[in-house]
Structure 1
Amino acid sequence: MTIEILESVSALRTMSVPVPSPAIVRARPPREAAPASDVLGRIGPLETRIARTASEIDAAQALRYKVFVEEMGARVPAGAALLGRDIDGWDAVCDHLLVLDTSLLGPSEAQIVGTYRLLRQDVAAAADGFYSASEFLVDPLIARHPGKRFMELGRSCVLPSYRTKRTVELLWQGNWAYALKHGIDAMFGCASFPGTVPEHHALALSFLHHTVPASGEWQVKARPELYRVMDLMPVEAIQARAALSAMPPLIKGYLRIGAMVGDGAVVDEAFRTTDILVVLPITNIAGRYLNYYGADATRFAL
C-alpha cells in the first residue's frame, strides 16, 4: 500500500481467540540486539525491521491494544484487558514487523509506532495453522498450490499521529523485503469493514464480489457456519467510483496492488467488524508497485 491510496491505517486481523498465559508470550528468551543490517528500510527517522526482543513484541501488543480496543472499541478477553495488550497464542510464533521512530528517546520498544504480524506457511504448519482459518477455508487454497509458499498478514496498525505516507510505505517495504527473503509466492489476510452489519456496506461488498473475486485455483470461501453474503446489489446498480469511496483505505490499497477477495464475508462480533479475505499472489502485484519498491526491495533500503 502506497501513500496515494491510504488516508489512514485500518487493521488486518481476524477473530479473537482465547488469551494464553502472559508467560507464554513473554517467556520467549530475549535475543541479542540484531546488527543494523537487519533494518529493512528507512525514511528519515523512521525505520522498519522485525522485532528483536520479547519486550519489543510486548510493545507491539500494547500498540495494538491502543488502536483496536481503545480507539476502535474491540472487545478482548479479561486477561488481555488487565494487561492492556492485544495478545493471543499466535504472537509467540509470528514475526512482528515494526516501524520505529528513532528520533524518540528511550528504549527501542518505546519507539514503536506501527506494526504488522507475519506468519509464514512453514511456521504455521508447525504450530496451530493460520490465524485466519478461524474465519475462512484457507487450507483448500493452500492445498491447491503445493509448490507455492504462502504468508499471512495480520494485526496491522499504526498510531494515529503516524498515519502518514512514510509509515505506510515503510510497512510495505518491510512486507515486500520479508517476502523476498523467505521466497513467498502469495500473501493473504483478513481486511475489515467497520461494524457488524454487512448490509451497511452493500455497495462496497457487492463491488468486490462482482469485480475482483478470487476464482479458479485462488478461490477461497468463508467458513460455512460464518458465511455472510457479499452479493447484496445487482451488478448494474453498482457505481465503481462510489463503491471505492465507500471502502476502507486498506482494502482500496490492496485492490490497486492487484489483490483479489474471497467468497463471503464474516462478522467478527469481538472486534465489531465485517471481514473479507484478501488474496495477493506475488505475480499479481502491479508492475508500477514493483518498480516503486524495487524488484529486490531496495526502494527504501539502507
Structure 2
Amino acid sequence: MRDIRQGGYVARLALGPEDVARAQALRAAAFLGDEAASDADEHDAQCLHVLVEEARSGRLLCCFRVLMLDGGAGVARSYSARFYDLTALEAFEGRMAEMGRFCVAPGQRDADILRLAWAAMTRLVDDHGVAMLFGCSSFKGVEAAPYLDAFAVLGARHLAPRRWWPRVKAPSVFRFAERLRRHKPDLKAAMRHMPPLLRTYLMMGGWVSDHAVIDRQMGTLHVFTGVEISAIPAARRRLLRALAG
C-alpha cells in the first residue's frame, strides 16, 4: 500500500518490528488505559499493520491491523473466531480481510483521522481484491445498560444474513436481538452510543451478530461485524475511493 497524505496526516503500513511495537503501545493506551503497557498477541505476526500519524511530528494517532484470507476456508485463523462460531462463513468464496484492534489515541477527536484510516482500508481492499471485510466492533465497558437503544437498533435493522449467521461461541454473551425485541429505542441515543467504527460499517451496508460478547479481558462488549464489498452503496464506494486517491 502506498502512503496516503491528507490534512496534515499520513497513513502507511508498518515497516518493521519498531512500528508494530508503537501500534501495540497505542492499543494498550486506548483499550487498557495503560500507556506503559503493550497490547500484543499471536495474531500480530500474521497481520498487516496500518498507522495513521501526524505528518509533521510522526506522532501515532490511530492504528489497526488487517488479516488477509484467501476465502472463508481460512476464517478459523481470525481473531474473531476465538469468540464467534463462524462456520457459516467458511462457505464464502471471495477474498476476506479481518480489520482488528482499531483504535484512536485517547483525546484525539479529529474526524479526518478516522477518514484517513478508512481511506487506507479502502486502498488495501482494492489492492488485494477483498470481497468481504469483517471484525469485532467494540462498545466500551462490559455493562449493556448504557447501550440498550443502540443494541435494539442493531437487532431490529442490522442483523447478519442467515447464510452468514455468526453463532454463539463465547461463554459470556448478551443476546440483544432476543432480549430487546420489544424495546422501542430512542434513535438519537442509539446513534450517540454507537461506536464510530460500527457506524461506518453500518453506513456501508454492514451487518452484525445477534449477540454481543462480554470480553472482560479487554473491558468491552463487542459484536461481530461484516460487510460484503459488493453491497456497499455506490455513492459510499465513490467517496471512499476518492479519499484513498
Q: State the TM-score, normalizing by the size of structure 2.
A: 0.89
3-state secondary structure, aligned to 2:130: coil
Instruction: Name the counterpart of 1:117.
Output: 65
3-state secondary structure, aligned to 2:64: strand
Q: Is the CA contact 2:71–2:96 (under 8 Å) kept in the aligned structure 1?
A: no
Q: Is the CA contact 1:124–1:130 (under 8 Å) kept in the aligned structure 2?
A: no
Query: Are residues 141 and 127 of structure 1, via their aligned partners in 2, closer, same or farther at CA, if it must alter by over 3 Å?
Result: closer
Instruction: Name the counterpart of 1:247.
Output: 194
Which protein is richer in strand relative to its size? 2
Amino acid at match of 2:115: E
| CA distance in 1 between partners of 2:147 and 2:95 (Å) | 33
The CA deviation string for residues 238-290 of structure 1, in whole angstroms up to 9 with x for no partner, is 34333223322322222122110112111001111111111111012122221
Deviation of 1:212 (Å): 0.8
| CA distance in 2 between partners of 1:49 and 1:132 (Å) | 24
Deviation of 1:235 (Å): 4.0
Deviation of 1:299 (Å): 3.0
Instruction: Name the counterpart of 1:78.
Output: none
Q: Is 2:43 aligned against 1:93?
A: no
| CA distance in 2 between partners of 1:60 and 1:258 (Å) | 29
| CA distance in 2 between partners of 1:276 and 1:222 (Å) | 11
Number of matched residues? Answer: 244
Give unmatched runs, 5+ long, in structure 1: 1-37, 72-80, 105-109
Q: Is the CA contact 1:190–1:275 (under 8 Å) kept in the aligned structure 2?
A: yes
Amino acid at match of 1:260: W
Instruction: Name the counterpart of 1:23.
Output: none
Give unmatched runs, 5+ long, in structure 2: none
Q: Is 2:243 aligned against 1:299?
A: yes
**Rg larger for:** 1
3-state secondary structure, aligned to 1:185: strand
Instruction: Name the counterpart of 2:12.
Output: 49
The CA deviation string for residues 74-130 of structure 1, in whole angstroms up to 9 with x for no partner, is xxxxxxx9x7211111111111011122201xxxxx532210110011499789710
| CA distance in 2 between partners of 1:123 and 1:287 (Å) | 24
1:103 to 56, 59, 72: 56
Instruction: Name the counterpart of 1:136.
Output: 84
The CA deviation string for residues 43-85 of structure 1, in whole angstroms up to 9 with x for no partner, is 03311111111111111111111211226xxxxxxxxx9x721
Q: Is the CA contact 2:71–2:95 (under 8 Å) kept in the aligned structure 1?
A: no
1:70 to 33, 42, 53: 33
Q: Which protein has greater RCO, CA pairs closer than 8 Å, 6+ apart?
A: 1
Identity %: 26
Query: Are residues 230 and 87 of structure 1, via their aligned partners in 2, closer, same or farther at CA, if it must alter by over 3 Å?
Result: same
Runs (4+) of structure 1 moved beyond 6 Å? Answer: 123-128
**1:13-32 correspondence runs (5 A):** none
Amino acid at match of 2:78: F
Q: Is the CA contact 1:207–1:235 (under 8 Å) kept in the aligned structure 2?
A: no
